Structure 1
């Protein structure tokens, strides 16, 4: 049986060490290349940080499996056992251009159930973390349960690109959603945006396409403060595939889902 307290302390130690290394890299030039398209960037720091975590996990927990964004983990077809989902730098474009609004994201699942989640905003030294059944925290301060707000007073996170060009949902309804809300934001890091939902800095977050390592940690955070996280059709997420994502407090989630997302 896993010792989750021990694992939690170990992960926090690794995250702080990795964060120090990333901040140190600000002083040096980056090696940057692309993946699937010219805007899908990866740097030597992404790859080095992922290697750092994977090497430590392999040594400390050889029976665990790993899903990593940069392809250095395992090729999994199931979530049996304990699985680590790692994004060494979520928000690489922000990291490259701004050195702000990027995060280390780690979600640890046991037989498909989220047990531990971590989102570390490196530039602001803010560590959001949660353990299933024990709440969510930011730098040691417990986050309160989410409070419900009406859409007209809600701050909604959505990438503006999805509002004007997408093949999944009625663009006019998404524009109406943005108009009805108090305001919209886009930070360019799913991990940070989900952490902001969990901490109440945002009221909900929508994305058309995210990989498991993008949202695995954030899902645990959001659920530990009473939030709901589904795809944009209101369905359960598949942790082994790309998903659309919709996270928020239950009443607001239901209102937006019914009024703007479900095709009628």
Structure 2
């Protein structure tokens, strides 16, 4: 109970400080609503359009999760393949790195032209944004096993599969989860980018509509929805990390602080 109170007290205090500064800035500087709406206006918009915002939030959350899970399903097995095969690593890794130099905002319209306006292309854009952190962190984690652990496995006459499941993968999990946490945050960005092109639903679509009509109260309401989605997804992954690797130093240290 004490840990839960500590975890919520500091973020709540920071939130109150930010809202207070926001409120003071609006009234002291006499800013018009089209430049910066008051917290009260944004709250009224959130409550007044709650069902409307929740519908679009559900669409964005679905796209984000689909692209995120796809990045895990493809990224981790590909990382295992790259670590297991030097030929595959030398062949694919330069192209994978090169693929990240292309801005995803520029690729989104092209993907839409090729594959249409359905959910598939939007999930594909989200996957492209979220994929690389999972891949790189998994590769780094799988390669970072200490030589002493390999020698221990050899002394126990472990097979190659046993070395992977009992030694290499458990030691790589902290690094893999670090990449997954970055990926889940990037998936929200990817979903918004995807919804900027040819979409009729989703929070990215609402951002474009609010920007075109200078509806800043709607814009702030959408940003709050995106923030809530991102925080919930991130801490969900962090909770899963605690469940799967409670033995790791980073998890135990965080619990003690």
Structure in which a larger fraction of residues adopt helix: 2
- TM-score normalised to the size of structure 1? 0.25
Query: Which of the two has greater strand per residue?
Result: 1
Larger Rg: 2
TM-score, with structure 2 as normaliser: 0.25
